[in-house]
Amino acid sequence: MQGEIVVQMNNITMEFPGVRALDNVSFETRKGEVHVLLGENGAGKSTLMKILTGVYKQTDGKIFLKGQPYEIKSIKDAEEKGISMIFQELNLVPFLSVAENIFLGREPRIGIQIDWKKVNRDAQTLLDNLGVKINGKTIVKNLTIAQQQMVEISKALSYNPDVIVMDEPTSSLTEREIQELFKTIRDLKNKGVCIVYISHRMEELLEIGDRVTVLRDGQYVGTVNVKETSIDGLIQMMVGRTLNEKFPKECAPVGAKSLEVRNLNQGKRLKNVSFHVNKGEVVGFAGLMGAGRTELMRAIFGADPVDSGEIFVNGEKVTIKSPKDAIKNRIGFLTEDRKHQGLVLKLDVKQNITLSNLEKITKNTAISFSEEKELCDQLVKDLNIKTPALHQKVKFLSGGNQQKVVLAKWIATQSDILIIDEPTRGIDVGAKVEIYKLMNELTKQGATVIMVSSELPEVLGMSDRIYIMHEGKITGELTRQEATQEKVLHFATGGNKK
Ligand code: ADP
Ligand code: MG
């Protein structure tokens, strides 16, 4: 990479209360490159770039822009100096138009009047130059996420930037939208703009990146040319060890039936579903999107009513009409949508862990407050939850740590049967392995884990047994030994038992 150095960040340290987010990190970008900033959740990527773009002021370290000392007072100041950031959480004003958003706070004026014609015209030019089909007069809330991103990019381009930082830009885009974004990135690069691309997805960076800088736990690991590296090499840089065991499965002794479902029906969504799970087992549920796996789990957990069917827990017939009934029968449910259903983001770690215990605690029958704190401390330690304190709000934790808090919550309620929907979605490599090890631990203690997963390697890697669903029915069952990708897909697409 031969272009001149645009940004140079030297020995940056950033301390938040209780967390050293960055420890002596250095980073440089060159003209016309896509520089990927790679690292697990919580590695410090966003923080480093938020320092560059004026959101935070570093505790220590120096920054240079094109060789000159660079001091920024605000996001706006950074934009005016040629550095813009497209944030993970997009920052547009939803009820204003696209054009208004692009020129917000710096509208061209005639005298004291805003020159709306020019606002609209200039915005449209920016959008057209970017090659996106968006009308500048559209109200932002009517745009898709991908379109909003394009508006943010147009806004960034209106400052004629040297550097555009994109923070995990593809996390909510479809495959087609991703390809469009990549095309835009390539165009920008050809115009000499430097793109800092934050990601933890390997395939993406191989496709779009020129150089990669890896951060781990707030520290600088190294910078490599994408052409001279491999996925394995990068993973090793990210997690600090080789992942010879991506799926550290340990089979536990299998005990008696813990849960049995007979002939469950729910409208057109679940048709005569019967299955069972045993103590000590991880049972995977595979299937294509919409096969009914989440619906089945919600029904078992009492979150949605069923038309007919029977459920047995430890051999006894039970009635589950609400999640409360399920919890009483020691069934726990980690939803796939942990941000909306599993966690209360504005509450802290302790409150989240004890949430479903609330009844016990308020009645003060089972656990006292000091015991509660002790329990939480123990779980944070056992599950290796990285949080500065029990009173840290969970919204500040990384995805992997949030998932562990949800797990801790269900372990605290002493669930014997844990249903986990997409256990590792949105979680980085290292935290995935930790979640798998927790599953080993739980089954070793005699619990049952029911795992719904769309990641076939995960299903094959971690399940003792696999049920496959298609259009609301169970179409196949495979043991760990029998299961292959082909067989699972055969059942998942509706193939019948041979
Ligand atoms: P990444 O973007 O690589 O996932 P972040 O830069 O968001 O990582 O976070 C790095 C560390 O700093 C994490 O431990 C995170 O919890 C912490 N952190 C980030 N922002 C704040 C903040 N505003 N206050 C306190 N801690 C923070
Ligand atoms: Mg981030």
User: In this structure, are residues 334 and 449 in contact, taking their beta carbons and an 8 Å threshold?
Assistant: no
User: In this structure, are residues 466 and 451 in contact, taking their beta carbons and an 8 Å threshold?
Assistant: no
The candidate with the shortest Cα–Cα distance to 254, out of 414, 441, 446, is 446
User: In this structure, are residues 151 and 128 in contact, taking their beta carbons and an 8 Å threshold?
Assistant: no
Please report the pLDDT score of residue 414 as a whole number: 82
Question: Quick check: is 497 in a domain?
Answer: no
CATH number at 149 reads 3.40.50.300
| Residue nearest ligand 1's atom 23 by CA | 16
Residue 41 Cα: closest atom of ligand 1? 4
Along the chain (498 residues), what's the average pLDDT of each consecutive run of 10 residues? 86 88 96 93 91 96 95 92 88 93 92 94 93 93 90 91 92 81 92 92 87 94 92 80 69 96 96 97 92 95 96 97 91 82 84 70 56 87 88 87 87 89 81 89 94 88 96 96 88 73
Query: Is 314 found in the same domain as 231?
Result: no
Query: Is 275 found in the same domain as 196?
Result: no
Query: Is 121 found in the same domain as 160?
Result: yes
DSSP 210: S
Residue 19 CB less than 6 A away from ligand 1: yes
pTM: 0.58
**Domain C-terminal end among 206, 239, 272:** 239
* pLDDT tens profile 280-334: 999 999 998 889 999 999 999 999 999 999 999 999 999 999 998 998 899 999 8
Q: Which ligand is nearest to the CA of 40?
A: 1
Query: Is 305 found in the same domain as 165?
Result: no
Question: Quick check: is 248 in a domain?
Answer: no
Query: Is 169 found in the same domain as 73?
Result: yes
DSSP 392: S
Question: Quick check: is 459 in a domain?
Answer: yes
Cα separation, 203 vs 449, in Å, equals 30
CA of 357 to the centre of ligand 1 (A): 29
CA of 433 to the centre of ligand 2 (A): 20
User: In this structure, are residues 272 and 263 in contact, taking their beta carbons and an 8 Å threshold?
Assistant: yes
CA of 39 to the centre of ligand 1 (A): 12
Please report the pLDDT score of residue 365 as a whole number: 52
Query: Is 474 found in the same domain as 332?
Result: yes
Cα separation, 410 vs 399, in Å, equals 17
Please report the pLDDT score of residue 346 as a whole number: 85
Please report the pLDDT score of residue 364 as a whole number: 47
Which pair of tokens denotes residue 34?
């896509």
The candidate with the shortest Cα–Cα distance to 185, out of 236, 149, 141, 159, is 149
Cα→Cα distances 38→235, 334, 428, Å = 10, 28, 11
Cα separation, 404 vs 96, in Å, equals 39
Residue 41 CB less than 6 A away from ligand 1: yes
> Domain count of the chain?
2
Positive or negative CA dihedral for 91, 93, 98, 104? negative
The candidate with the shortest Cα–Cα distance to 418, out of 342, 489, 476, is 342
Question: Quick check: is 247 in a domain?
Answer: no
| Residue nearest ligand 1's atom 24 by CA | 16
Residue 426 CB less than 6 A away from ligand 1: no
Q: Which ligand is nearest to the CA of 387?
A: 1
CA of 46 to the centre of ligand 1 (A): 7
Query: Is 343 found in the same domain as 472?
Result: yes
Cα separation, 221 vs 226, in Å, equals 15
CA of 2 to the centre of ligand 1 (A): 32
Please report the pLDDT score of residue 383 as a whole number: 86
In this structure, what is the dihedral angle of CA atoms 130, 47, 246, 435, given to the nearest 10 degrees?
-120
CA of 42 to the centre of ligand 1 (A): 6
The candidate with the shortest Cα–Cα distance to 191, out of 263, 129, 274, is 129
Which residue shows structure tokens 């005699």? 446
CA atoms within 13 A on the CB side of 128: 6
The candidate with the shortest Cα–Cα distance to 57, out of 45, 69, 72, 67, is 72
Residue 16 CB less than 6 A away from ligand 1: yes
Rg (CA), the chain: 25
Question: Quick check: is 353 in a domain?
Answer: yes
The candidate with the shortest Cα–Cα distance to 416, out of 250, 286, 257, is 257
* pLDDT tens profile 55-76: 999 999 999 999 999 999 999 9
Query: Is 328 found in the same domain as 299?
Result: yes
Cα separation, 142 vs 146, in Å, equals 12
Question: Quick check: is 283 in a domain?
Answer: yes
Sheet of strand 60-65, all strands in order from the earlier edge strand to the far edge:
19-30, 5-16, 60-65, 68-69
Positive or negative CA dihedral for 168, 401, 423, 242? positive
**Domain C-terminal end among 239, 274, 297:** 239
Q: Which ligand is nearest to the CA of 399?
A: 1
Query: Is 334 found in the same domain as 206?
Result: no
Residue 398 CB less than 6 A away from ligand 1: yes
Please report the pLDDT score of residue 359 as a whole number: 57
**Strand, coil or helix: what is 353?**
helix
Structural domain span for residue 120: 5-239
Please report the pLDDT score of residue 498 as a whole number: 45
Please report the pLDDT score of residue 243 as a whole number: 43
**Domain C-terminal end among 183, 213, 239:** 239
Question: Quick check: is 246 in a domain?
Answer: no
Query: Is 268 found in the same domain as 368?
Result: yes
User: In this structure, are residues 316 and 293 in contact, taking their beta carbons and an 8 Å threshold?
Assistant: no
**Strand, coil or helix: what is 81?**
coil
The candidate with the shortest Cα–Cα distance to 220, out of 11, 435, 36, is 11
Question: Quick check: is 252 in a domain?
Answer: no
Query: Is 277 found in the same domain as 232?
Result: no
Please report the pLDDT score of residue 352 as a whole number: 86
Which pair of tokens denotes residue 13?
């340290």
Which residue shows structure tokens 């500040």? 396
Query: Is 206 found in the same domain as 107?
Result: yes
